[in-house]
Amino acid sequence: MANKAAKQIARRNIAILNRTHLISLSAHVLFLLIRILLYSSPRSSYILYGVLSSPSIVFELYLERLGRPSFASDGEMRRSGEDLEAKGLTEYMWDIVYWTWGCVVAAAVLGDRAWWLWAIIPLYSAWLAYTTFMGVRQGMGGLTGGGGGVAPASGTSNRQKKMEKREGHKIQYR
């Protein structure tokens, strides 16, 4: 049972990557079949498809390289691969892959105007960057001099208020 966690990650990664490749292949073949058989699509339609689906393919290949475990010739696992369910950048790459699949299928069924759905990805990126920036800014409120709740508005500290309350009279400060 040595490296049980690494073996679980490796099994999960293999399942995720195999499912990802199957869905990706299905979406792209569906697009090409519908466009070739049902529509007389202009050349620009295929150029648009290539340009807008390429980030998804690049991320999918990167995730393959990152998460696919490697084995020695005797079947011993050399490397389990990175966790493909990790938060952060990996999660964002999966979002782009999934959204692009939806755009590919929508463009296959609805036509080239469905590629405008792909514009949501940069908007989502801008929203993520804004919320991250605002979270960091609020977290550093006391350090930047923004007054993030460090001192009370009355000018006296909590310690001073407690001492005044305990002694029953106001302390004069110079």
pTM of the model: 0.68
d(CA 35, CA 107) in angstroms, rounded, equals 9
d(CA 27, CA 100) in angstroms, rounded, equals 10
Q: What is the amino acid identity at position 74? A: D
d(CA 27, CA 109) in angstroms, rounded, equals 11
Residues 84-115 pLDDT 10s = 888 888 988 999 999 999 999 999 998 888 88
Any idea where the domains of the chain sit in the sequence? 7-141
Distance set, CA 116 to CA 17, 32, 66 (Å): 28, 19, 30
Which pLDDT does position 105 carry in this prediction? 93
Residues 7-61 pLDDT 10s = 888 889 999 999 999 999 999 999 999 988 887 778 888 898 999 999 999 999 9
pLDDT at 173 exceeding the cut of 80: no
Q: For the chain, what's the residue count?
A: 174
Distance set, CA 117 to CA 8, 106, 169 (Å): 36, 9, 67
Selection from 31, 15, 16 nearest residue 100 by Cα: 31
